[in-house]
A and B are shown apart, each in its own frame.
Chain A
Amino acid sequence: MAEKFDHLEEHLEKFVENIRQLGIIVSDFQPSSQAGLSQKLNFIVTGLQDIDKCRQQLHDITVPLEVFEYIDQGRNPQLYTKECLERALAKNEQVKGKIDTMKKFKSLLIQELSKVFPEDMAEYRSIRGEGHPPS
């Protein structure tokens, strides 16, 4: 799995470097640079071919669209991962608090109802007791 990303990363880095060198040649073009320019253009085509081959191996990879918004704003995409983890943890804590509160409420309610309706609560516990032990 990681090898696929390594291959793609390698090809992309080569492609970007090629483009950068092409830009340097073009920025101050000389007649003697024509051969180098032609070579770089062909390297662009082969680079795109290599990247296209990598695409087939990564067809099952999904990227959330929100990451693209971070990149378009010039922000580090790792911030998206960080915020996802923080949101997940916060929601986890919130739900855990709700579950714990409901459990406490249930035990208190059963306790108080048992004081007022002992027979009925005994019957309730016998009904629930088979698959659900009274808390």
Chain B
Amino acid sequence: MGLQFQGSYVAQADPQVLMELHLHLPSVKLQIGGSSGAETTMENFSALFGAHADPPPPPSALGFGPGKPPPPPPPPPGGGPGTAPPPTATSVPTDADKSSAGCGPFYLMRELPGSTELTGSTNLITHYNLEQAYNKFCGKKVKEKLSNFLPDLPGMIDLPGSHDNSSLRSLIEKPPILGGSFNPITGTMLSGFRLHTGPLPEQCRLMHIQPPKKKNKHKHKQSRTQDPVPPETPSDSDHKKKKKKKEEDPERKRKKKEKKKKKNRHSPDHPGMGSSQASSSSSLR
């Protein structure tokens, strides 16, 4: 069905569109023409179809030719050979459209998504009872180093695993080939574990070095050493500890004695103070 508005514009329209036009523009002069060539001019569209919003009869009932499909939508600005073909007028309307057809002006309105009890507006930490965990980890200061998490683990664990190929990541990426069950080592196999006597070379001794543990400076200020802790043997460890204590005690006593002597020399009650001052003054001259 074709439309001619005042002989200046020709468009192809769907009967439903025509109905909507009638509802909004009842006084427009419309000229309807068909493929058969018969033209009928109508001054008032409502005179043919009535004032009510009834669906118009098919074009064939009016003596016109078969209804032509609506014009294709304009192509997008970047359109080219990749643009999709326009929808045909014979496409079946979806259920949403059918349901929205009865909503009046709200033809685009769809059903709301299902509401859930748990949304982002609720405090998820209280919802999952993680308050204690939050206070424990975020309330207090968590120490940075791994040795603070595993204080009893020997060795230098604060170093990155890539230094000595002991990273967990490499264990996951290249898992070791597991042979089967763990069998105890027999006597003949143990004979292969005979070692040379004597201490290890310095390169291998690094395995026993532990990072210096920070203790109270006030107590351990004197015994603090910058060198790494030497390797210990189970039999000598106790003796060495005792020796260290014995060595530290006389050293401390000597230092205390020296300090006392210095104080006593400079005190006025010291008997030898006058003679010492005289000798010092004479030496300066």
Contacts and interface: CB of A to CB of B under 8 A. Distances in A.
Interface stretch (B31-39, B62-70, B227-235, B270-278): B227-235
A20 B123 contact: no
Interface of A: 13, 16, 20-21, 23-31, 34, 37-38, 41-42, 45-46, 48-49, 52, 65, 68-69, 71-79, 81-82, 85-86, 88-89, 91-92, 94-96, 98-100, 120, 123-124, 127-128, 131-132
Contacts, number: 138
Nearest to A99: B121
Interface string B122-137: 0111000010011001
B176 interface: no
Chain B interface, DSSP helix/strand/loop, else mixed: loop
Given A71-B161, A72-B162, A132-B112, A82 B137 contact: yes
15 contacts: A25-B233, A28-B231, A28-B233, A34-B194, A37-B195, A38-B193, A69-B169, A76-B143, A76-B144, A82-B137, A82-B142, A92-B125, A98-B120, A124-B106, A127-B109
Which of the listed residues A27, A48, A68 has the most CB atoms from chain B within 10 Å of its own CB?
Answer: A27
B142 A79 contact: yes
Contacts of A52: 182
Given A68-B169, A68-B172, A100-B121, A76 B149 contact: yes
Nearest to A73: B160
